Structures are given as structure tokens and as C-alpha cells.
Structure 1
């Protein structure tokens, strides 16, 4: 897809992967609608922020309606990035924390995707990027809830691409390993280090998938830091 002039929606844009993706899209000439609870520190003529909490369908609908009203065109790219993880043993996990993860990581994808698909199908072109995690391909101790949500993202992505591929719409699921973001702020067992991937690295992979030939489809992309514990000296 040629990104110049295309309209892209990115969720969870206040920082991290979302903000890096917004900046990368803007550099390519895209018009970007950022949906999030908090606005990023970013000023650009082609960036438009709309307050949105993806946990709530009414909030997503409102952000979508405002996006279409302001930009007066269909959405051609959707990056479902908003998400969070809470650590803890399953038996000790609070109902509120469990629901928060599923409402954000899973329901948010449903609420956002269902609104942009009709326009993409009408255009005969579109690309949805869903950010899962390597936790969506395996199990991680004390992360059962988070892993459950990211496995769901994988299942949604695999089913959806088969539903929309014949309309010229792509669905790509991305599985990052550890990234230098605020994701780990509330996970005491993990410390953010320079050996993790950068948000800009993930954004570059998203652009690579978006800019591919119309008949070339990245279904799954797994990315990890090459040296998560640093380079060996001997």
C-alpha cells in the first residue's frame, strides 16, 4: 500500500509502540487519527487526536464518528495497539484486573475493527494490524490472564483475515518479544533494559507489512531482541 495520503487509525498513542507508529506513518505522508485516553506530546498538521477508551464501545464509536467527520473519508489502516498486562497467579487475580485486560486487549479490537471494515471493503483496500505478543503463542507463569488475551488476538486475527481477504483487506498479527515501553511499569519481575527492542523497531516492522504489494500478505510476524541478555564478551 502507498501510505501517502491514506488515513490510518492507531489506538493507544500516548507513548511506546503506538506513538512510534504514529510518527513513522506521518513520515510516510499518512494522515493519522490517534485514539487514546491521553494525548501524546505531538504536534503535526496530519495528526488528529481523539479521546477514546477502547474498553467501551460507546467511546470507540464516538472516536470513529469524529474521525470520519473530520477527515471525510474511509479509514484504510487500523493499528490495534492499545493493551496492557497485569501479572499475578490466576487464583489471586482480582476480577477487576482480569476484566480490565480482556476488555482492553480483546474487546477493544472488536469494537474498533468492526467499524472500519465496511469502509475498507467498499474501497477494496485496507490493512488491520493487531499487536499480540509472544505471550500469544505460549504460556508465561503469572501471566495467565495476559496470555489468554493475546491468544485471543491471534485467533481473532487468523479468523478475520480469512473473512476479508477476498475484498482486498489484509489482517496481520504481530508478536513482539520484550520492548522498551511502560508495559513493564507494574511488573516487578522485569526491568526495562537497552537489550530490549525499541518501539521504533516495531513501528518499522508495521510499515514493512503495510507497504507490501497488494497481493502479498504477512499473516503472522514474530519479532524478538537478538541479544536479550546483552552481547557475550567471550
Structure 2
């Protein structure tokens, strides 16, 4: 039986490629984004297998309407891909008031609210699969990524807890942690930088921006290949909880594991010294 997918942030990039791969696999897709006309134009041959809906994940009324329309059309939701998001990059002290709130409103609270809206259906079905698109920024904090990384770290912690809560209902959760992929993530239309420029940070801030600019559209990751893996994961009876997508992501994860191990060993003797006496 074909699956019914719901994909947020499906207008372009990884989200659009996941829609393409799911349709090619014979599944039905609810593709959502702020510009559903763009989605319809990209998948004009999908016919009744595609439902394109307007969805800004920061607006709860649009989330509720999208889930209702999906169920009215297809009757169920088997796979939820929480992909909508953007990058608030730059040095923390150069960020403005509200930058972090806007970042979390989309990357974290938007993801929370879409998941909350879909879970009742999956619980009723006693089956479902949630893929939360995180990032290597959710594994390792980086220079110029304090706000973006913190939002992805939040997604990581949420997913680890959620996976335990919904497992009794036959619902699986996977964290997808992409490295650098050839999308428009670093385009000026997608990424945001702080506007509170400070002289003390001028040199390093310029290095960060130039580094991202030089890397843009030269990233090693292929979003179409990632989408193919995502469809493969959706067909597994026991999908993995964590998937580091890309050779660079795997290296980041391995380095983080090694660093944590070394840090634990360096302070292990001190750990029991704070235990109370009973």
C-alpha cells in the first residue's frame, strides 16, 4: 500500500527533492510551503498523488488547516517530514533583538506544532514515521552559528525524548543530520545574518560571511540522493534513530563522539565527588 507523506518546506531544496522521490516511489504526498503554486509548477505531472498546500509553520491556524485538508484528501498521514527552516547565522553579539525568537519560531516551535497536529492521527493509526531534519549544527556548535546551532540542538533533544514517548504506538522517529548540501540554504533569500555590526568582530565576521559565500552551491551533498535515502528509511520496519547524511556529517559525528569520550575520561574521577553521603 502506498504511503501518505506530509512534507514541510517543500518549495525547494531538500524538501522538494523528498517530494519528488516519494512520488517516484508511488506514494502520495502533501507538500506544504509558503508558495504552493511553486510546488504545483514543479510537479505538474503528479496528478491526484500530490496535494500542495500553503503552510507557514509559525502560524498554528495554517498548520491545523493543512492537516485537516491532508486527512480529508487522503484519510491518513504515514510519514511526516519536518523540513521547514532557515539559518540565522553570524556572531551572537552581532545578532539583533528578535533574531533568536524568529529562528526558534520556525526551526523549533514550528516543528513542535506541526508534530503536535499530526500525532493524534498517527496514534489512532498505531503507526507512523516522523523525520526531523536537523543538521550537523545540531551535533556541533560552530563559529558564527550560535543561534542556528541552538535551534538544531533543541530539535535533537526534542526528538530523543519524543521517540521514547511515541514508540508504544508504533511511531518511529529519525533525526536526519545533513552536512553541507547543494541547496539554496546559503543564498541571500534563505540565510539571515545579524545586523548589529561591531568593530571588534569585523575581521572574523567578514571571514564567516566570505566562507559561506565561497562554499555556496559547491557543497559536497546531493539533495536528490539524500531524498532517495529518506524514502528507503521510510520503508524499513525498524528505521535508525539518527542518520548523519553526508561524509562530512559522519566525520562531524565521529569527532563529537571522540571529544565527548575524552572529556568524560578527563573528569571521570571528579564525577562521584559530588554524590551525597547517605
- Where does the alignment leave 5 or more consecutive residues of structure 1 unmatched? 228-234
- Where does the alignment leave 5 or more consecutive residues of structure 2 unmatched? 192-208, 250-278
- Cα distance in 2 for partners of 1:94, 1:226 equals 31
Deviations along 1:58-111, one digit per CA (max 9) or x if unpaired, are 12112112222222x121110000010021111121233222211111011111
Residues 1-234 of structure 1 aligned to structure 2 (within 5 Å)? 4-39=1-36, 40=39, 41-43=42-44, 44-45=46-47, 46-71=49-74, 73-186=75-188, 188=209, 189-190=211-212, 191-213=215-237, 216-225=238-247
1:106·1:153 contact (CA, 8 Å) conserved in 2? yes
Greater Rg by CA: 2
TM-score (norm 2): 0.76
Deviations along 1:36-76, one digit per CA (max 9) or x if unpaired, are 101222221111100010012112112112222222x1211
Deviations along 1:150-172, one digit per CA (max 9) or x if unpaired, are 00110111000100111110000
Going from structure 1 to structure 2, the CA distance change for 1:192 and 1:225 (only over 3 Å counts) comes to farther
TM-score (norm 1): 0.89
- Cα distance in 2 for partners of 1:138, 1:180 equals 20
Kindly state the Cα deviation for residue 194 of structure 1 after the two structures are TM-superposed: 4.1
Kindly state the Cα deviation for residue 183 of structure 1 after the two structures are TM-superposed: 0.6
Partner-residue secondary structure (3-state), 1:29: coil
Question: Between Structure 1 and Structure 2, which shows a larger proportion of helix residues?
Answer: 2
Q: Name the Cα RMSD after superposition.
A: 1.6
Aligned residues: 221
